[in-house]
């Protein structure tokens, strides 16, 4: 088995992970964070930037929990305005403006349409007031002011919208994000500031001495080995697993988890140019055009199961299709659904209907040395982290060796985001990629959208082996170099890490990118030293993940077999 040469750029790989595991055992950390979703990643980045000694343990892959299952919006949340959560909307709009600057390759403005119908829940007048407030709350970070649209203008902009009773509507702007890559960029940024971070490491026990938490026991889920990590403060940032982690520390539950699902159809089956928000039964739903697809979401139902086993069931798919058919002129059926994703919102316990449960976060301290943070949104993760790290520094000043510098995360770009005016950068970089590197235009855009300025690092791998400049499979935008880059620079350790979270090939490629997966398994195997059997296991496990994602098609909702090789 040939092992490809290691990282030419420093790397964030299995070797980095092995070093982190050794540090977990050897060092005493200021803060140990349980959970490598966006919340834990944000805290690690902020604390590491301020010079604190940080450890982060993630039991699966980074973002494998809720943080790769969101609706992918960086938004103020018009709905929360109607619920009078003004503080949350204002904070979210400020963070939206900041994230556009910190990760302009991952966060993009998107026009939204809001059609208004006779007899609808909200009149034009109320919606206009709401959107004006939305613009005002965004302050100088506003994207573009909302506009009122006549019925004709709305029909012209979005011919697929149902016209029965249509009065007109509004256009406003919010942002879309690649949620998993935002999380990964945040974790990598923390590691650059010397945080010890590792995926596939589970905290299995919370340790204490004399009533104070002093660290955790952990298990390396790849090797099965166990160890002890000591820390002045342990933070539970475990998303929908929060109550399980709190149980390890002997503290009561605090969550009301709700499940949300999304379905993906071909763009041709629901052709939209704007994202569209619409009311269906008692809640707001949306349809978002994305690449050659449109996705529809989201359901919101109480969830009591295992957050690791959450899937879009047949009922969820039917509900989403029914909702889309109520809002658009086409006639979709569950057979049109190509991919799905489902996640569990780690909401803080409140009574009322699931859609009404607040999206703000909560911090609970106790027992001494143990802090839980839960709730919130992807959009506000940076502000949540700043608040939490401030509190820890204040409360634990003596143990942490005195004062620490203020938060800098609002002004330091995330990896790949150190550029101005993304659109201009994208065009300027795509041309030489096409002309000098022979990279097809679509693949060039994909490289820039995925890696931002770090696309140059991906190319350094292709310089070592020019065949890595080829696509992973015909018509797939991802290049072969990306599979090697994911291993060497993004700590991808399984095929699924690559196909689902480093790229989006599982959700947004015909046949879920199965052919590309085969080539990626070969390249990852060479870099990680997989034998033939391991490569086959990786493929099998990927096929099973695809089968699970489309399980709603199977009669009785049983776990279906993976498609044949």
Ligand X SMILES: Cc1cc2nc3c(=O)[nH]c(=O)nc-3n(C[C@H](O)[C@H](O)[C@H](O)COP(=O)(O)OP(=O)(O)OC[C@H]3O[C@@H](n4cnc5c(N)ncnc54)[C@H](O)[C@@H]3O)c2cc1C
* Position 186 contacts ligand X (CB under 6 A): no
Are 540 and 564 in contact, with CB atoms under 8 Å apart? no
C-alpha span between 164 and 115 (Å, rounded): 11
DSSP strands (E only) in 123-274: 147-150, 166-177, 196-198, 201-209, 212-220, 226-236, 258-266
* Position 458 contacts ligand X (CB under 6 A): no
CB nearer to ligand X: give 13 or 64: 64
Reference 548, options 202, 192, 310; nearest CA is: 310
Strands 370-375 and 226-236: parallel
Reference 56, options 206, 194, 211, 151; nearest CA is: 194
Query: Which stretch in 154-162, 264-272, 338-346, 456-464 sits in contact with ligand X by CB under 6 A?
Result: 338-346
Site map (CB under 6 A) of ligand X, residues 247-276, x = contact = -------------x----------------
Site map (CB under 6 A) of ligand X, residues 45-84, x = contact = ------------xxxx---xxxx-xxxxx-----------
| Residues in a beta bridge with 261 | 342
345: enclosing H helix or E strand = strand 339-345
Instruction: For residue 97, report the phi and psi dihedrals to the nearest 5 degrees.
Output: -65, -40
C-alpha span between 69 and 93 (Å, rounded): 21
CB nearer to ligand X: give 202 or 266: 202
CB of 535 to ligand X, least distance (A): 25
Region class of 51: left (phi > 0), else alpha (psi between -120 and 50), else beta: left
CB nearer to ligand X: give 79 or 124: 79
CB of 290 to ligand X, least distance (A): 13
CB nearer to ligand X: give 53 or 63: 63
Footprint of ligand X on residues 370-389 (CB under 6 A)?
376-379
CB of 112 to ligand X, least distance (A): 12
CB nearer to ligand X: give 65 or 130: 65
C-alpha span between 205 and 245 (Å, rounded): 8
Q: Name the residue with tokens 């088995």.
A: 1
Query: Which stretch in 22-30, 113-121, 341-349, 436-444 sits in contact with ligand X by CB under 6 A?
Result: 341-349
C-alpha span between 275 and 307 (Å, rounded): 28
Site map (CB under 6 A) of ligand X, residues 298-327, x = contact = x-----------------------------
CB nearer to ligand X: give 297 or 417: 297
Please pick, from the candidates 38, 462, 472, 491, the single residue that binds ligand X as defined by CB under 6 A. Answer: 38
CB of 320 to ligand X, least distance (A): 12
Please pick, from the candidates 14, 55, 106, 344, the single residue that binds ligand X as defined by CB under 6 A. Answer: 344
C-alpha span between 55 and 386 (Å, rounded): 17
Strands 226-236 and 28-34: parallel
Binding positions for ligand X, rule: CB under 6 A: 34-40, 57-60, 64-67, 69-73, 202-203, 237-241, 245, 260, 298, 343-346, 376-379
């Amino acid at each position: 088995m040939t092992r490809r040469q290691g990282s030419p750029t420093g790397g964030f790989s299995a070797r980095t992970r092995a070093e982190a595991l050794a540090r977990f055992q050897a060092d005493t950390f200021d803060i140990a964070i349980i959970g490598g979703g966006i919340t834990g990643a944000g805290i690690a980045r902020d604390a590491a930037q301020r010079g604190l000694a940080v450890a982060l343990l993630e039991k699966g892959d980074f973002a494998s929990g809720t943080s790769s299952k969101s609706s992918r919006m960086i938004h103020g949340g018009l709905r929360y305005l109607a619920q009078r959560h003004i503080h949350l909307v204002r904070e979210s709009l400020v963070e939206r403006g900041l994230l556009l600057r910190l990760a302009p390759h991952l966060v993009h403005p998107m026009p939204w349409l809001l059609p208004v119908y006779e007899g609808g829940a909200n009149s034009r007048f109320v919606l206009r007031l709401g959107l004006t407030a939305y613009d005002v709350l965004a302050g100088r970070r506003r994207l573009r002011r909302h506009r009122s649209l006549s019925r004709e203008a709305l029909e012209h902009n979005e011919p697929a919208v149902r016209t029965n009773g249509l009065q007109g509507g509004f256009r406003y702007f919010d942002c879309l994000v690649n949620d998993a890559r935002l999380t990964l960029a945040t974790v990598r940024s923390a590691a650059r500031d010397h945080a010890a971070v590792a995926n596939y490491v589970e905290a299995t026990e919370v340790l204490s001495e004399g009533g104070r938490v002093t660290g955790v026991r952990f298990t390396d889920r790849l090797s099965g080995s166990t160890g002890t990590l000591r820390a002045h403060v342990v933070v539970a940032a475990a998303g929908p697993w929060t109550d399980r982690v709190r149980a390890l520390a002997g503290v009561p539950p605090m969550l009301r988890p709700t499940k949300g699902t999304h379905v993906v159809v071909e763009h041709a089956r629901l052709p939209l140019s704007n994202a569209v928000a619409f009311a269906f039964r008692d809640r707001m739903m949306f349809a978002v055009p994305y690449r050659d697809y449109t996705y529809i979401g989201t359901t919101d139902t109480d969830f009591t199961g295992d957050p690791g086993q959450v899937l879009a069931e047949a009922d969820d798919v039917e509900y989403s299709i029914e909702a889309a058919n109520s809002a658009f002129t086409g006639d979709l059926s569950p057979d049109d659904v190509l991919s799905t994703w489902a996640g569990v919102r780690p909401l803080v316990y409140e009574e009322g209907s699931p859609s009404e449960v607040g999206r703000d976060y909560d911090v609970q301290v106790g027992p001494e040395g143990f802090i839980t943070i839960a709730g919130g949104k992807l959009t506000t993760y940076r502000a949540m982290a700043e608040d939490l790290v401030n509190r820890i520094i204040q409360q634990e000043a003596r143990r942490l060796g005195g004062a620490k510098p203020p938060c800098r995360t609002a002004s330091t770009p995330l990896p790949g985001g150190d550029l101005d005016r993304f659109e201009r950068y994208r065009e300027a970089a795509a041309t030489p990629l096409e002309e000098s590197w022979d990279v097809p235009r679509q693949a060039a855009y994909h490289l820039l959208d995925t890696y931002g300025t770090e696309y140059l690092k991906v190319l350094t791998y292709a310089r070592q082996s020019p065949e890595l400049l080829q696509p992973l499979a015909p018509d797939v935008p991802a290049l072969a170099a990306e599979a090697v880059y994911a291993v060497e620079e993004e700590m991808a350790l399984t095929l699924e890490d690559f196909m689902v979270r480093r790229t989006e090939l599982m959700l947004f490629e015909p046949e879920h990118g199965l052919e590309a997966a085969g080539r990626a398994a070969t390249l990852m195997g060479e870099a990680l030293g997989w034998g033939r059997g391991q490569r086959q296991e990786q493929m099998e496990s990927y096929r099973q993940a695809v089968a699970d994602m489309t399980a709603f098609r199977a009669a009785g909702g049983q776990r279906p077999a993976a498609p044949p090789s």
